[in-house]
Amino acid sequence: MYQRRRVRMGLTALVLTALVLVTIDVRAGDDGVLSQARGWVTAAFRPVQDGVGVIARPIGGAFRNVQEMFTLRVENQRLRETNADLRERRRTLTDLERENRELRRLLNMQERGSFETVTARAVALAPSSFEWTITIDAGSVDGVERNMPVVNGDGLVGRVVQVMPRSSRVLLAIDPSFFAAARTARTAEVGSIEGRGGDPMVMRPLDPNADITQGDEIVTSAYQGGVFPAGVPIGIVADVGDPAARLAREVTVRPFVDFTRLHHVLVVLSAPVETVPPLVGTPGLEFEPPPVPRFIEPDDLDHDVDDPNGAPADPNGAPADPDGDDDDGAVGTTGNGAGVNPSNASRPTT
């Protein structure tokens, strides 16, 4: 009897404590006491997780090698075909680079400089089945700040959501709460991309009838403002969705990054691109739309890309890419978005 009463009282007390924690966390938001406590716990566990990760990584690698033996033959054939395709494309690359430089000069655009980055190791994943975050071993002492983009050699990894002195937490791009502006590299169709809690991501193009085909590369766009520099590879279109779904076409995107094998990542230290403030209602601003033909024949739409009087193909202001590839810059090496920052490119003068 005494024991039962003690269990009941203890359970009531602990459940109330848990509910108080929920209330505090929901009300305080990102800067509350529990957020600080999360930072302390992460910092406390990081060295142990780091050590275990170093020891266990070869074990995990061995498991994966066994698993992959069965897919190697198909993968080898696919890589041979890809290699042949790349050799073909490489022949035209030099000419395209020259053409790209010329076009940039024509548009008087500033060449993009290098990203300032810091390298970090992925130390641990979140213990929850509903959250896709990693802990990395770089923090505020390394210059990491919240909302900074995180990339690796394959493309976009995510963004920093919590910063401690020597570690940070990164929200992976596959987390359902992840959101970024994106566009297709081939046709520069813009839209938004979000995670879905697993491998495939979903892109929602602004134009439901956008020209998107299977195999198109999806890259980040700075068009709508946000934290990501333009041109960071995200993934490849696996399913173009239903263009008839005029309100919410969903394009399935297979990410380039293998999120189960994150080891080293780069945190882009360059300042996040500021969101362009809305122009509507701003006093003293008069916007004059550029002269456009009053009527556009449907057949002419296909030629807009090359039309010097028409709108540029890339909503970021970048020139139309003749080869259909995205040459906005390689991840971690080029591109600070200066040439494509909407605050520079599209803000009208008074």
Nearest distance, CB of residue 168 and other proteins, angstroms: 10
Query: Closer CB to other proteins, residue 133 or residue 184?
Result: 133
**Rounded Cα distance, 223 and 181, in Å:** 7
Distances (CA, A) of 333 to 205, 231, 264, 336: 28, 12, 15, 9
Owner of token pair 């022949």: 91
**Rounded Cα distance, 285 and 349, in Å:** 8
HSE-CB at 8 with a 13 A cutoff on CA atoms is 5
Query: Closer CB to other proteins, residue 7 or residue 301?
Result: 7
Nearest distance, CB of residue 101 and other proteins, angstroms: 43
Nearest distance, CB of residue 145 and other proteins, angstroms: 16
Distances (CA, A) of 89 to 138, 145, 170, 226, 324: 38, 39, 35, 32, 11
Q: How many helices and strands in the chain, by DSSP H and E?
A: 4, 12
Nearest distance, CB of residue 336 and other proteins, angstroms: 28
Nearest distance, CB of residue 15 and other proteins, angstroms: 6
Query: Closer CB to other proteins, residue 50 or residue 304?
Result: 50
Query: Closer CB to other proteins, residue 14 or residue 93?
Result: 14
The secondary structure of 75-143 as a DSSP string is HHHHHHHHHHHHHHHHHHHHHHHHHHHHHHHHTTPPPP-PPPEEEEEEEEE-S-TT--EEEES--GGGT
Query: Closer CB to other proteins, residue 197 or residue 324?
Result: 197
Query: Closer CB to other proteins, residue 51 or residue 277?
Result: 51
Binding site for other proteins (CB under 8 A): 3, 6-7, 10-11, 14-15, 17-26, 34, 37-38, 41-42, 45, 48-50, 52-53, 56-57, 59-61, 63-64, 67, 123-131, 133, 135, 161-162, 169, 171, 175-177, 197-199, 260
Return the H-helix or E-strand segment holding 172.
Answer: strand 168-172
Query: Computed over its alpha carbons, how large is the radius of gyration of the chain?
Result: 24
Query: Closer CB to other proteins, residue 20 or residue 311?
Result: 20
* DSSP 8-state assignment for residue 257: S
Nearest distance, CB of residue 19 and other proteins, angstroms: 7
Q: Which residues pair with 233 in a beta bridge?
A: 219
Nearest distance, CB of residue 21 and other proteins, angstroms: 3
CB 225 within 8 A of CB 239: no
